[in-house]
Amino acid sequence: MRVSVYFTPGELAASELAGRTVVVIDVLRATSTLVEALANGARSVFPAQTTDDAVRLAQALGREDVLLCGERRSLKIPGFDLGNSPLEFTAERVAGKVLVMATTNGTPALMACAGAKQVLVASLLNLGAVVQELAAAGEDVEILCAGRERRFALEDALCAGMLALGLRERLERAPRTNDAAAVAMSLARRASGRMERWLGRSAAGRQLKEIGLADDVAYCAAVDRHTVVPRLKERQVSL
Amino acid sequence: MRVSVYFTPGELAASELAGRTVVVIDVLRATSTLVEALANGARSVFPAQTTDDAVRLAQALGREDVLLCGERRSLKIPGFDLGNSPLEFTAERVAGKVLVMATTNGTPALMACAGAKQVLVASLLNLGAVVQELAAAGEDVEILCAGRERRFALEDALCAGMLALGLRERLERAPRTNDAAAVAMSLARRASGRMERWLGRSAAGRQLKEIGLADDVAYCAAVDRHTVVPRLKERQVSL
């Protein structure tokens, strides 16, 4: 088994996805929010590339149970029902709903993986469940960090490293890894047990705290809050 | 002062380069070889995007003192004068010559930075000299790793981290850093004094050893072998 990490979406071209199992990570906050929404009973989430795409898709779906969600510069998009804070996606708000969601990094990264054999959604919130599923399947895994505006993001690298470490612990034979996976695992070992502090140090974490969203950082740092493994299939993420 | 690291060329767009000081790193092997060539008396090196571009440029220059250099899949390009091994670029071969060079990662990364205010070429071989020059200038620095086929490469991240650490040690006020610089510095601290071993572990290092080029890995791991600081100006790299 081979476990590869890509710190930015640009490192994994669409042409390289055929037949692959890809795990997409955007800890602060899109994949954390997706996990939270589906764990709280949302029926599915349509990721969107842009705000306009989200609005058009919601109109096309045209149903009463659709919620428009997403952020620009970390804040809820004006006129949308929900932003990108996992704390907003309570069972009360999202149970039974179909969500359309546009975020800066996470939802475009997910959509870019549409050509893969399977696309799983990971965050710290559902880390153990994703590890379990990947270990049971035993196939090569491509772990794709959404990063931040095309660039390296510490929190995604940490989560990728924890995922790779978790796989290594569960497998009988240590998986082969690429350079990025080795670095991510080393980071994850150092941060072990102190996720909230490390997330708070990242550029995304600091920015969220600056605009009053420190609770989001703390929430997204909790490992294994949920056991769901969302998957992208036919443009929708669901369980 | 701000020190930012980019692990792959895709993270720094051409439009973001205006007015910036960029340092380009490709430890295995293009920037190591450039440093070696210029330290050994080459007059200048024209980086080329492709093999064909290199051939055309050499023909256009049309001078007897031009050498065609470069690799594909780590091996010398058939018909070229030299490959991409620093050990080939002896004073005997390159002194007084103009080089045209096409490599897989390093020379395209250099050319992509042409719009910056200044572009410096760094490797472990000339690390201290680059640190000294950047610290004296005191301006913000963008450290760009050439990586490997658009992807993260351990050896470039290590060199970037050593550069950032070196700057931090020399400056009175610790520079601000991005997430990637923080991770690179942490890697560099761990690898300190064991560069050859770490380079040997990287995917590029292992591949070079497999094809019989272990001596290149060892050579490129030597810190501060030279004190030159090559710069890209008007399509040429020179001192």
pLDDT at residue B87 tops 90: yes
Mean pLDDT of the region A125-151: 97
Q: How far is A42 from chain B (nearest CA, A)?
A: 33
Q: Which residues of A touch B6 (CB under 8 A)?
A: 151-152
CB A11 to CB B11 under 8 A? no
Nearest by CB: A179 against B150, B186, B203:
B203
Which element (helix H / strand E) includes B4? strand B2-6
CB A183 to CB B6 under 8 A? no
CB B153 to CB A187 under 8 A? no
User: For the whole model, what pTM was predicted?
Assistant: 0.96
pLDDT at residue B29 tops 90: yes
pLDDT computed for residue A198 by the predictor: 97
Q: Higher-confidence residue: A172 or A35? A: A35
CB A178 to CB B10 under 8 A? no
- With respect to residue A234, please indicate whether it lies within any of the assigned structural domains: no
Q: For B172-205, what is each residue's pLDDT tens digit?
A: 899 999 999 999 999 999 999 999 999 999 999 9
Q: Is A105 on the interface with B (CB under 8 A)?
A: no
Q: Measure Cα distances from A34 to A22, A55, B136, B214 in Å.
A: 16, 18, 48, 47
Mean pLDDT of the region A216-226: 98
Q: Which residues of A touch B180 (CB under 8 A)?
A: 151-152
What φ, ψ does residue A155 adopt, rounded to 5°? -65, -35
Whether A230 contacts A38, CB under 8 Å = yes
Q: How far is B177 from chain A (nearest CA, A)?
A: 9
Residues β-bridged to residue A4: A142
Mean pLDDT of the region A158-170: 97
CB A11 to CB B190 under 8 A? no
CB B186 to CB A187 under 8 A? yes
Q: Which residues contact A151 (CB under 8 A, 6 or more apart)?
A: A8, B6, B11, B178, B179, B180
Q: For A52-83, what is each residue's pLDDT tens digit?
A: 999 999 999 988 899 999 999 999 999 999 99
Q: For B94-126, what is each residue's pLDDT tens digit?
A: 999 999 999 999 999 999 999 999 999 999 999
Q: Which residues of A touch B157 (CB under 8 A)?
A: 179, 183
Cα–Cα dist B154/B209, whole Å: 16
pLDDT computed for residue A63 by the predictor: 84
pLDDT at residue B63 tops 90: no
Q: Of A175, A136, A193, A153, give the one whose Cα is nearest residue A24.
A: A153
- In B153-172, the residues whose Cβ lies within 8 Å of chain A are 153-154, 157
Q: In whole numbers, what is the pLDDT of chain B averaged over residues?
A: 96
Give the chain B residue nearest A178 (alpha carbons). Answer: B203
Give the chain B residue nearest A151 (alpha carbons). Answer: B11
- Tally of domains in chain B: 1
What φ, ψ does residue A100 adopt, rounded to 5°? -115, 130
3-state secondary structure chain A: CEEEEECCHHHCCHHHCCCCEEEEECCCCHHHHHHHHHHCCCCEEEEECCHHHHHHHHHHHCCCCEEEEEEECCEECCCCCECCCHHHCCHHHHCCCEEEEECCCHHHHHHHCCCCCEEEEECHHHHHHHHHHHHHHCCCEEEEECCECCECCHHHHHHHHHHHHHHHHHCCCCCEECHHHHHHHHHHHHHCCCHHHHHHHCHHHHHHHHCCCHHHHHHHCCCCCCCCCCEEECCEEEC
Among A2, A8, A16, A152, pick the best mutation site for testing chain B contact (most B Cβ within 10 A): A152
pLDDT computed for residue A125 by the predictor: 98
Q: Is B179 on the interface with A (CB under 8 A)?
A: yes
pLDDT computed for residue B172 by the predictor: 87
CATH code for the domain in which residue B43 is found? 3.90.1560.10
Q: How far is A62 from chain B (nearest CA, A)?
A: 38
Whether B237 contacts B47, CB under 8 Å = yes
Cα–Cα dist B140/B121, whole Å: 16
* Residue range(s) defining the domain that contains residue B24: 2-238
pLDDT at residue A212 tops 90: yes
Q: pLDDT tier at A36 (50, 70, 90 boundaries)?
A: very high
Q: pLDDT tier at A201 (50, 70, 90 boundaries)?
A: very high
Whether B216 contacts B29, CB under 8 Å = yes
pLDDT at residue A172 tops 90: no
pLDDT computed for residue A72 by the predictor: 94
- Count helices and strands (H / E) in chain B: 10, 11
Query: Using a CB cutoff of 8 Å and minimum separation of 24, what contacts does A89-96 make?
Result: A89/A33, A89/A36, A89/A37, A89/A40, A89/A42, A90/A40, A91/A40, A91/A41, A93/A67, A94/A37, A94/A40, A94/A41, A94/A42, A94/A67, A95/A40, A95/A41, A95/A42, A96/A41, A96/A42, A96/A43, A96/A65
Q: Which two tokens stand for residue B47?
A: 């980086």
Q: What percent of chain B has pLDDT over 90?
A: 97
- Specify the amino acid at residue B32: S
Q: What percent of chain B has pLDDT over 70?
A: 100
Q: Which residues of B touch A154 (CB under 8 A)?
A: 179, 182-183
Q: Which residues of B touch A7 (CB under 8 A)?
A: 7-8, 152
Q: Radius of gyration (Cα) for chain B, nearest Å?
A: 16
Q: For B133-173, what is each residue's pLDDT tens digit?
A: 999 999 999 999 999 999 999 999 999 999 999 999 999 89
Cα–Cα dist A16/B150, whole Å: 13
CB B180 to CB A150 under 8 A? no
Residue with tokens 């993001």: A153
